[in-house]
């Protein structure tokens, strides 16, 4: 199995930040307890462009997750429907992949045991390791709500009905993986401004390159560290394996959207449906999955279990 070399980043966020948000009337809810890959990549490239006057279009980064935490997958289920405790058997992904390879019925592969509830994409933090399993708990960042009002420049008073509330998250120390690049060398000597609403927040991010990490490319049952798309706009980027005639994708869906900017205009890119972080894809042929890495898509790895991945990306 071939491997890919990444640089492990340690990100220290001093202050509160807003990443993805949803507006409900005058309230902007923060949607994530991590930094999406598109925002992290944009912040790193922005500083690189400021210092060097150029960009590295092939540079990419994974989402940045809290230390000892990552998105849950189907086989790291909660102990119950309302439980905040999660369990993962050691080597479960490798074992399930082997079962699929042997043609075991998908219904049997997906069996979890009595009472266990899969919650794909929940950010879970490892709390304990036993000889046979990893124990996690769901992670929720401390939040802070800041009020802002739109001012009429002509009258010098507030606009009617223009009071806004923004929810910011205190993320602390996070880890991320990135492509080895001069971009990282520049980021290490700088302090990044990151997140939405930068003018309303004084948060700064310090970047450290911890070490190089080798991770297996997607093969068999693979874990989506970012949003994933096997195919997009008629082009296939990886071949999904089938069992009983059905493509094996075990997880949830979400929506990807971004922005474009050129010399004359800016606007929103087309939004499209993706597989959410934590989804498992049974990869038959990896194809050109990596073509979409700079867009924050298809950051996939083949690991025996989530605990093994967290061991590889541990930061102090």
Q: DSSP 3-state assignment of 292? A: helix
Cα–Cα distance for residue pair 117/302, rounded to 1 Å: 23
Q: What was the pLDDT predicted at 89?
A: 97
Q: Is 272 helix (H, G, I), strand (E, B) or coil?
A: strand
Q: What is the pLDDT of residue 216?
A: 94
Of 297, 286, 298, 281, which is closest to residue 239 (Cα–Cα)?
286
Whole-prediction pTM: 0.88
Determine the pLDDT at residue 27: 58
Distance of alpha carbon 121 from alpha carbon 30, whole angstroms: 16
d(CA 198, CA 47) in angstroms, rounded, equals 14
Q: What is the pLDDT of residue 311?
A: 96
- Rounded distance between C-alpha atoms, residue 258 and residue 171, angstroms: 22
**Distance, CA of 189 to CA of 196 (rounded, Å):** 22
Q: Where are the alpha helices (DSSP H) in the chain?
A: 37-52, 92-101, 106-109, 182-188, 306-312
pLDDT of amino acid 268? 53
C-alpha 284/C-alpha 218 separation (Å) is 9
Phi, psi for 77 (deg, rounded to 5): -75, 160
Cα–Cα distance, 148 to 26 (Å, whole number): 10
Q: Decide: 175 and 9 in contact? Cβ < 8 Å.
A: yes
Whose CA is closest to 62, among 217, 225, 290? 225
* pLDDT given for residue 195 in this prediction: 64
Residue 80 neighbours by CB under 8 Å, 6+ apart: 115, 116, 117
Query: Phi-psi region for residue 204, left (φ > 0), alpha (ψ -120 to 50) or beta?
Result: beta
Count Cβ atoms below 10 Å from residue 253 Cβ, excluding itself. Answer: 13
- Report the domain count for the chain: 1
Nearest-CA neighbor of 14 among 197, 188, 180, 191? Answer: 191
275 by Cβ neighbours in 10 Å (0-12 / 13-18 / 19+) ranks as buried
Q: Which structural domain range is residue 103 located in?
A: 3-312
CA 174 vs CA 180, 196, 285: distances in Å: 18, 18, 32
**Per-residue pLDDT for the chain (316 aa), expressed as one digit of tens each?**
688 999 999 999 988 887 766 666 665 666 688 999 988 998 899 899 989 999 899 999 999 999 999 999 999 999 998 899 999 999 999 999 999 999 999 999 999 988 899 999 999 999 999 999 999 999 988 877 766 655 555 555 445 555 667 777 889 999 999 999 999 999 988 888 776 555 556 678 999 999 999 999 999 999 999 999 999 888 999 999 999 888 999 999 998 876 554 445 445 566 789 999 999 999 999 999 999 999 999 999 999 999 999 999 999 7
pLDDT computed for residue 137 by the predictor: 97
Euclidean distance between CA atoms 236 and 286, whole angstroms: 10
């Amino acid at each position: 199995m071939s491997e890919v070399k990444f640089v492990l980043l340690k990100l220290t966020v001093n202050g509160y930040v807003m990443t993805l948000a949803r507006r409900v009337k005058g309230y902007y809810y923060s949607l994530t307890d991590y930094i999406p890959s598109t925002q992290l990549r944009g912040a790193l490239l922005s500083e690189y462009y400021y210092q060097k006057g150029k960009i590295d279009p092939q540079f990419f980064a994974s989402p940045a997750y809290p230390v000892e935490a990552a998105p849950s997958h189907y086989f790291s289920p909660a102990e119950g429907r309302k439980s905040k405790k999660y369990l993962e058997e050691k080597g479960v992904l490798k074992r399930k992949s082997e079962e699929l390879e042997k043609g075991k019925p998908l219904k049997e592969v997906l069996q979890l045991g009595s009472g266990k509830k899969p919650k794909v994409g929940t950010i879970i933090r490892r709390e304990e390791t036993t000889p046979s399993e990893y124990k996690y708990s769901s992670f929720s960042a401390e939040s802070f709500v800041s009020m802002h009002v739109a001012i009429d420049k002509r009258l010098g008073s507030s606009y009617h009905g223009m009071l806004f509330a923004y929810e910011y998250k205190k993320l602390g120390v996070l880890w991320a993986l990135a492509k080895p690049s001069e971009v990282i060398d520049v980021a290490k000597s700088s302090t990044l401004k990151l997140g939405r609403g930068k003018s309303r927040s004084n948060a700064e991010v310090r970047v450290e390159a911890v070490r190089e990490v080798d991770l297996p490319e997607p093969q068999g049952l693979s874990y989506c560290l970012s949003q994933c798309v096997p195919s997009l706009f008629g082009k296939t980027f990886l071949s999904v394996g089938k069992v009983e005639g059905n493509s094996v994708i075990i997880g949830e869906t979400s929506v990807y959207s971004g922005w474009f900017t050129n010399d004359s205009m800016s606007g929103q890119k087309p939004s499209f449906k993706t597989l959410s972080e934590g989804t498992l894809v049974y990869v038959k042929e990896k194809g050109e999955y990596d073509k979409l890495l700079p867009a924050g898509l298809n950051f996939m790895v083949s690991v025996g279990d989530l605990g093994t991945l967290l061991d590889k990306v541990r930061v102090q």
